[in-house]
Amino acid sequence: SGSVAIGHAFRAVALAECDVAFATGHESSLSPPLFAMYRDANLLSREREDPRRAITPYSGASANAFGEGAVTLVLESRAHAEARGAPILADG
């Protein structure tokens, strides 16, 4: 959903339909079939007490801890960004 939203927002700004567009995507991976698949493949973290220890990058262990998350990306035209003194971070 997020990549589709970014595409729509990018086109709207590129076609000058708007100066600013918000693209939001969310993750809702908390479904029983998904958990079962990862559990059966031994890919879920065994940590149940401390969420900070559920994922330990670079430890040699390969496990996952699921949750829900969301992000919003703000896209704006160059003219709009320059008018407000914003640094240009990317150009499409």
Distance between CA atoms of residues 66 and 56, nearest Å:
14
Spell out where the chain has E strands: 20-28, 68-76
Q: What pLDDT sits at residue 62? A: 63
Q: What does the pLDDT look like over 26-84, one tens digit per residue?
A: 877 678 888 888 889 888 888 888 877 887 777 766 677 777 778 899 999 999 999 99
What pLDDT is attached to residue 52? 79
Distance CA 73, CA 17 (A): 17
Per-residue model confidence (pLDDT) at position 88? 93
- Tokens for 39? 């559990």
Contact yes or no for 65/47 (Cβ under 8 A): yes
Distance CA 30, CA 32 (A): 7
